[in-house]
Chains A and B, each alone.
Chain A
Amino acid sequence: MSTNHDTKDIQQHIKVYMMVFAALAALTVVTVAASYLDLSSGEAILLALTIASIKGSLVASYFMHLISEKALITWILMLTAVFFFILMFIPMTSFIDQARLG
Chain B
Amino acid sequence: MDIPYTVEERSDTGLFNAKLGIWLFLASEVMLFGGLFSAYIFLRFGAPDGAFHEWGQELNIPLATLNTLILISSSVTMVMSWASLKLQDIKKYKLYMGLTLLCALGFLVIKYLEYTAKFDHHIFPSTNTFFAIYFTLTGLHGLHIIGGMIVLFYLWIPGRKMWESQPAQFTNRIEIAGLYWHFVDLVWIFLFPVLYLL
Chain B interface residue count, CB cutoff 8 Å, equals: 48
Q: How far is the CA of A7 from the CA of B20 in the complex (A)?
A: 25
Neighbour of B61 across the interface among A6, A7, A32, A63, CB < 8 A: A32
Q: How far is the CA of A47 from the CA of B121 in the complex (A)?
A: 31
Give chain B's interface secondary structure class.
helix
Chain B residues 48-88 with CB under 8 Å of chain A are: 50, 53, 61, 65, 68-69, 72-73, 75-76, 78-80, 83, 86-88
Given contacts A76-B27, A88-B38, contact A64 B179 (CB under 8 A): yes
Most buried by A among B23, B35, B45, B198: B23
Chain A residues 58-102 with CB under 8 Å of chain B are: 59-60, 63-64, 70-73, 76-77, 79-80, 83-84, 87-88, 90-92, 94-95
Chain A residues 1-48 with CB under 8 Å of chain B are: 1-2, 6-7, 10-11, 13-14, 17-18, 20-21, 24-25, 28-29, 31-32, 35, 41, 44-45, 48
Residues 168-196 of chain B: 1 if any A CB is under 8 Å from the residue's CB, otherwise 0?
00000000001100110110011011100
Q: Decide: A88 and B41 in contact? CB cutoff 8 A.
A: yes
Q: Decide: A60 and B186 in contact? CB cutoff 8 A.
A: yes
Q: Decide: B30 and A10 in contact? CB cutoff 8 A.
A: no
Query: Does B37 belong to the interface (CB within 8 Å)?
Result: yes
Q: Decide: B189 and A87 in contact? CB cutoff 8 A.
A: no
Residues of A within 8 A of B41 (CB): 88, 91-92
Q: How far is the CA of A6 from the CA of B88 in the complex (A)?
A: 11
Of chain A, the residue at the smallest CB distance from B41 is A91
Chain A interface size range: 35 or more
Q: Decide: A72 and B13 in contact? CB cutoff 8 A.
A: yes
Of chain B, the residue at the smallest CB distance from A16 is B79
In the assembled complex, how far is the CB of residue A66 from the closest CB belonging to chain B, in whole angstroms?
10
In the assembled complex, how far is the CB of residue A96 from the closest CB belonging to chain B, in whole angstroms?
11
Residues of A within 8 A of B15 (CB): 70, 72-73
Of chain B, the residue at the smallest CB distance from A83 is B31
The 24 sampled A-B contact pairs (Cβ below 8 Å) are A2-B88, A7-B87, A17-B80, A28-B65, A31-B192, A31-B197, A35-B61, A35-B198, A41-B53, A48-B194, A49-B190, A52-B194, A63-B76, A63-B185, A70-B15, A71-B14, A72-B14, A73-B23, A80-B30, A80-B31, A83-B31, A87-B35, A91-B42, A91-B45
Hey, which bits of chain A sit against chain B, CB under 8 A?
A: 1-2, 6-7, 10-11, 13-14, 17-18, 20-21, 24-25, 28-29, 31-32, 35, 41, 44-45, 48-49, 51-52, 55-56, 59-60, 63-64, 70-73, 76-77, 79-80, 83-84, 87-88, 90-92, 94-95
Q: Which 10 A-B pairs have the closest CB atoms?
A: A48-B193, A35-B197, A91-B42, A80-B27, A70-B14, A63-B182, A87-B34, A21-B76, A10-B86, A24-B72
